A and B are shown apart, each in its own frame.
Chain A
């Protein structure tokens, strides 16, 4: 059953990733194909997670593959909130190839197994993974911001052709996504520390990422660090997360 749901989800995510690249050439057709791929893939993955939850005794996503699976589900779900809008379709170019690759990696890691964990772990892992997914989305928005900012500075031919969201919108949405993710991430980390999680490299990295994202929001509010500065900080925070392999390392 799990296999039956994994492959359709992977194929749909893969199709969406390829279609998003095509958005640059055939915006309307490719975008329709892409967004339907995302929707179908996400629904299939939701069903997959439901089956895994039903089959397992405890929390089934506490190993690295399961956490990655959950991470992709959160990230794509968060993207769906914005990605259905034509103005945010370019965000899919950054989000969907990563989502498809990570989901395939999660599949290689094998089916989720019962790990003897409890509700506390489920909440802890769920919040941390949701935080990671939000950071990934915020980073994608920041990347799109920098790309668009560069285009506006260089004034290339066809500047208005793709109709991406405005700079101010991207900046604001990225900040809001960061703030919500940071809140979820903070509670998740706090729960882990309360439970007596050892302070290892992964935890240190998570705290470092927390400091970077927290600083970005603090500087934005207090010193008016918007636009490029905020985008670079967001990308730096996410790079830290990705470099340390936190989604897998922290939870593995």
Chain B
């Protein structure tokens, strides 16, 4: 049985093509079931960056043709963008995908969950079960042993990581949202996901502030009154369309007296800037504008790319292990036949010897059984190990044929 991969990804196809072959989980389950018919196995992995069909079948040419047909029926224009990989190459590809090495943002964390979901929805047997379990393991290992998934790769994530550098745990930290735009909302959500809470939304239009505040279960405030909240806030996220700074150094300076030395982290996402840059000169105030955050993101991406080299080594080692395992499958039938034949001979010879042995007690019978079984096992141990080693070195078929010929196992092929 061989593994075949047919797929399309962001490397070769634009979103307008990928979206036409994207499969929801229920569809992926149905397609996998269809591809796995006639004693095969199949898993469909479909994310925003890729749709890939993994099929394991004895007739790999037919399996590849059927998988190709599934994708081209949905979008004929995909023909030139499709890639096809077999066995070790397919495994290495999947392991790279699971480790986030094939993603737009190296090491992104979402893909591992998507691989897991695809595996759960797949029609798997021994081969794809092993392949996907090892892929999940490789993905986790690459993240645990390298820094590929550690640093922030978006402006909201960078803002949250910097806030954590000031406060540590963000649980219960109060956010003052200045401006009710999309960008500040995304940043706020990133902070909320780490435990912070939106305390107040301030906006020039109070209705808009109230609408956003309602979604977060917080209070709304007109822009003119933000100074009141400065005394209690831990993080300020500003993103208004104001041509002038909405918060000046003197506003913050006044609020600092009441803060009793507690730090204040300010994020300015607006252009022109909403927060007076001189605020950063105040003790206990840390102000980051959009350029600062973008440079953190750029640095993080660079660092992830550097870590990717170490992650590549990890997935390559895992792919090699899978190759060895898969190759050993070629000699498994021969080994099984050999052992069955040996057991058959052992039992037959014992039966023949029964009359000569006379009346045996239960203990004596068990001893004879045990001794003969041990002789057989010891004789077959080395040939079994050598055949598996030969399989890993690509000589497995030759050895398996030789064993079948020498022991007369041809009929059991």
**Could you tell me which A residues sit within 8 Å of B by CB distance?**
148, 152-153, 155, 157-161, 164-169, 220, 223-230
Q: How far is the CB of A78 from chain B (nearest CB, A)?
A: 20
Check A157 against B283 for contact (C-beta < 8 Å): no
Task: Please tell me if the beta carbons of B167 and A160 are within 8 angstroms of each other in the complex.
Answer: no
Which residues in window 274-332 of B have CB below 8 A to A? 280, 283-284, 286, 288, 292, 295-296, 299-300, 303
Contact B292 A166 (CB under 8 A): no
Hey, which chain A residues are within 8 Å of B122, CB to CB?
A: none
4 new A-B contacts at CB < 8 Å, known A160-B299, A220-B261: A153-B280, A153-B286, A166-B168, A168-B168
Q: Shortest distance in angstroms between B151's beta carbon and chain A's nearest beta carbon?
A: 6
Chain A residue numbers with a CB within 8 Å of B260 are 223-224, 226
B166 x A168 contact (CB < 8 A): yes
A148, A157, A160, A164 — most chain B CB neighbours (10 Å) = A160
- Whether the pair A160, B300 counts as a contact (CB closer than 8 A) is yes
Question: Given the complex, which residues of B lie within 8 Å of A158, measured CB to CB?
Answer: 299, 303
Considering only CB atoms, which chain A residue lies closest to B166 in the complex? A167
Cβ A225 vs Cβ B261 within 8 A? yes
Contact present for B152 and A160 (CB under 8 Å):
yes
Partner of B263, one of A155, A159, A227: A227
B288 lies within 8 A of A166 (CB): no
Checking A159, A220, A224 against B165 with a beta-carbon cut-off of 8 angstroms, the contacting residue is A159
Check B263 against A157 for contact (C-beta < 8 Å): no
In the bound complex, CA of A159 to CA of B300 (Å): 10
Closest to A158 in B: B299
A3 to B123, CA, bound (A): 68
Q: Say which residue of B162, B168, B280, B296 sits within 8 Å of A169 (CB atoms).
A: B168
Chain A residues with Cβ under 8 A from B292's Cβ?
Answer: 155
Instruction: Please name 28 pairs of A and B residues whose Cβ atoms are closer than 8 Å in the assembled complex, sorted by A.
Output: A148-B165, A152-B162, A153-B280, A155-B288, A155-B292, A157-B295, A159-B162, A159-B165, A160-B151, A160-B161, A160-B296, A160-B299, A161-B151, A161-B299, A164-B165, A165-B168, A166-B164, A166-B166, A168-B166, A168-B167, A169-B168, A223-B260, A224-B260, A224-B261, A224-B262, A226-B284, A228-B284, A229-B261
Which residues of chain A come closer than 8 Å to B259, judged between CB atoms? 224
Check A160–B168 contact: CB distance below 8 A: no
- Minimal Cβ-Cβ distance residue in A for B168: A166
Please tell me which one of the listed residues B167, B280, B284, B296 contacts residue A159 in the complex, with CB atoms under 8 A apart: B296
Whole-angstrom CA separation of A200 from B59 in the bound complex = 94
Best-buried of A159, A224, A230 by chain B (most CB within 10 Å): A159
A148 to B283 Cα, complex, angstroms: 14
CB-CB under 8 A from B152, the residues of chain A are 160
3 closest Cβ contacts across the A-B interface?
A224-B260, A226-B261, A166-B168
CB neighbours (8 Å) of A153 from chain B are 280, 286
Assess whether A226 is in contact with B262, with CB atoms less than 8 Å apart.
yes
Q: A227–B162 contact, CB under 8 A? A: no
In angstroms, Cα B288 to Cα A97, docked, is 35
Residues of chain B within 8 A (CB-CB) of A220 are: 261
B151 / chain A contacts, CB cutoff of 8 Å: 160-161
Once bound together, how far apart are the Cα atoms of A152 and B303, in whole Å?
A: 19
B343 to chain A, nearest CB (A): 51
Specify which chain A residues have a CB less than 8 angstroms from the CB of B161 in the assembled complex: 160
Q: Which residue of B lies closest to A154 (CB)?
A: B280
Residues of A within 8 A of B165 (CB): 148, 152, 159-160, 164, 166-167
Q: Do B303 and A161 touch (CB < 8 A)?
A: yes
Assembled-state Cα–Cα distance A165/B162 (Å): 12
B295 close to A152 (CB less than 8 A): no
Nearest CB to that of A226 among chain B residues?
B261
Q: Which residues of A contact B295 (CB under 8 A)?
A: 155, 157
B179 to chain A, nearest CB (A): 22
Q: Please name all residues of chain B whose beta carbon is closer than 8 Å to the beta carbon of A155 when the two chains form the complex.
A: 288, 292, 295
In B147-178, the 8 Å CB interface with A consists of 151-152, 161-162, 164-168
Q: In whole angstroms, what is the CA distance A230 to B151 when docked?
A: 31
In the assembled complex, the CB of B263 is this many whole angstroms from the nearest CB of chain A, namely 6
Please measure, in the bound complex, the distance between the C-alpha atom of A161 and the C-alpha atom of B280, giving whole angstroms.
22
Docked-complex contact B261 and A152, CB < 8 angstroms? no
How many Å from the CB of A178 to the closest CB on chain B?
15
Query: Across the interface, which residues of A come within 8 angstroms of B164, CB to CB?
Result: 166
A157, B300: Cα distance in complex, Å:
10
Closest B residue to A163 by beta carbon equals B150
In this complex, what residue of B is CB-closest to A87? B168
Residue numbers in A under 8 Å from B288 (CB-CB) = 155
Q: Name B284's closest neighbour in chain A (CB-CB).
A: A227
Residues from chain A with a CB closer than 8 A to the CB of B166 are 152, 166-168
- Separation of A159 and B286 alpha carbons in the complex (Å): 13
Residues of B within 8 A of A161 (CB): 151, 299, 303
Q: Which one of A164, A167, A225 has the highest number of Cβ atoms from chain B below 10 Å of its Cβ?
A: A167
Once the chains are docked, how many angstroms separate the CA of A166 from the CA of B295?
20
> Is the pair A166, B299 in contact by a Cβ cutoff of 8 Å?
no
B104-118 interface mask toward A, CB cutoff 8 Å, 1 = contact, 0 = none?
000000000000000
B261 close to A227 (CB less than 8 A): yes
A153 to B286, CA, bound (A): 6
Q: Which residues of B contact A226 (CB under 8 A)?
A: 260-262, 284
